[in-house]
Amino acid sequence: MEGKPDVTVTSANRKFAAITGSGRKIRDNAADWHNLMLKWEKLNEDGLSAATNIVNIRRSLVEELPSSSSSSSSLFAGGAAELQDECSKLQYVVDKLVVVVMKMERLMRLQQGIQDLDEFQFGPEGRMCPLFHTWKTGQFESTSRFLLDIFSKELKLKQTILQELAHTASADLCMVYLSCWLHQPFVPPQTRMTLEALLLETGHRSV
Amino acid sequence: MSRPTFTPLRQALVKSFQTLESNQKLWASALSECSPLMASLGNLAEQSRALSKVHIPDTPLGTFPDLEQRLRFKLLQAMDTVLGKLNEKMSSLQSVRDAISNQVSTVFQLYEQNRDVLDLPTVTKRSATSPSIADMMEWLQDAERHYQQQFLRRTVLLQMLRADDLSLLESAPKRWKSLESPSAEENITDILCKVSFFMESQ
């Protein structure tokens, strides 16, 4: 009897802690989305400080370049090593971001699998009775896809910034790279709301 | 000259200086919270300026089709957030100004009401520990005028800002700082020192 437990878990007051099957999986996925997005934010901050350092070190190196006395050349070497160091830091951050997006892709595949199972069990319409409050199983999938799209695009942008930042001479372009890194143009304002909606639906946030 | 007639006035004076003292601190803390906000506003303007100068399609970012609009939107949104926070701080400043103005006008009202008993010798009489009523009223007016002016100047500065006028936004932090008037603030501290014995004796 697949329908019966569904009826009991949809009651609004009930915590969804003891659920099993698809509901359990979706609930865990929602928590994973939350954690991955937190991790992304943290990495974004780390990356920003590395990126800012890269721009500053480069600027001071360029300023020193015209005076080519022996004392400044050792200074130059020191600056270059520092630059290399910050670039490795940024590389490390971007590598971590790649891992985050890979995990998000995995969540998306899991969600897709749950959706397929749903269709297999209940036909193309999916289950009639929602797993949690109101969402149909397909909505979890579309939410995951929405979030994944955002972070994949943002990751591509960050990878481009990583490649170009230390080789850019124009101060304005450097500024644009930094503000792209900080403001994350491909993460729209409704991202947070979407996550909150997902958490609310799956019972991580109380109604 | 019966003393009770101008006791209410003295009490109102004490209360005014107490208000002035506590609000001077509130004002300073609200104002100090504004500086970082103004700095980030200027910084956002700088970022917008850089974005306008760069022709995105000619850069490695050209592969991202709507990047410029998206970034511009994000910058505007960030400015909006900062301006919202500044607005909150401005209302704290406004309440400081209002609190002081209210107290001062109470003092002046009381003076008007008791004018016939407060003759010139009475209002100008002072001792080693207590300044004259006239002096104290003048100082209160000075303080009130200072906060009123400061509040209006800062409000006008913020109201003139437009999202599309980058040079104005960029210069805003500097002009905000130029409105500071440490001498007037010191003056208020001086006033509070001068009335400290009077306050204790009441």
Residue range A7-21, pLDDT digits in tens: 344 444 455 566 778
pLDDT of residue A14: 52
The yes-or-no verdict on residue A156 having pLDDT over 50 is: yes
Mean pLDDT of A93-121: 94
pLDDT, tens digit, 9 for 90 and up, residues A62-94: 877 665 555 556 667 778 888 999 999 999 999
pLDDT of residue B41: 95
Nearest to B54 among A157, A173, A183 (CB): A173
Q: How many domains does chain B have?
A: 1
pLDDT of residue A8: 42
Tell whether A143 is covered by a domain. Answer: yes
pLDDT band at B137 (very low <50, low <70, confident <90, very high): very high
Angle between helix B67-113 and B7-53 (nearest 10): 170
Q: Which domain holds residue B93?
A: 3-201
Tell whether A127 is covered by a domain. Answer: yes
The ipTM assigned to this model is 0.80
Tell whether A71 is covered by a domain. Answer: no
* CA–CA distance, A55 with A83 (Å, rounded to integer): 9
Tell whether A182 is covered by a domain. Answer: yes
Beta strands in A36-176 (DSSP E): none
Tell whether A206 is covered by a domain. Answer: no
**Taking CB atoms and an 8 Å cutoff, what residues of chain A touch B74?**
183-185
From residue A114, how far is each of A107, A111, A141, B57, B92 by CA, in Å?
Answer: 11, 5, 9, 41, 53
Tell whether A97 is covered by a domain. Answer: yes
The yes-or-no verdict on residue B55 having pLDDT over 60 is: yes
Contact B47 A189 (CB under 8 A): no
Structure tokens at A193: 């709301």
Q: How many domains does chain A have?
A: 1
Q: Does A149 reach chain B within 8 Å, measured CB to CB?
A: no
**Taking CB atoms and an 8 Å cutoff, what residues of chain B touch A177?**
61
Tell whether A25 is covered by a domain. Answer: yes
* CA–CA distance, B84 with A155 (Å, rounded to integer): 30
Contact B47 A170 (CB under 8 A): no
Nearest to A167 by CA among A101, A90, A109: A90
Q: Which domain holds residue A157?
A: 14-60+86-201
- Cα atoms in the 13 Å half-sphere on the side-chain side of B150: 27
Structure tokens at B145: 């005028």
Q: What does the mean pLDDT of chain B come to?
A: 91
pLDDT of residue A70: 53
* CA–CA distance, B125 with A138 (Å, rounded to integer): 85
Between B117 and B109, the more confident residue is B109
pLDDT of residue A55: 92
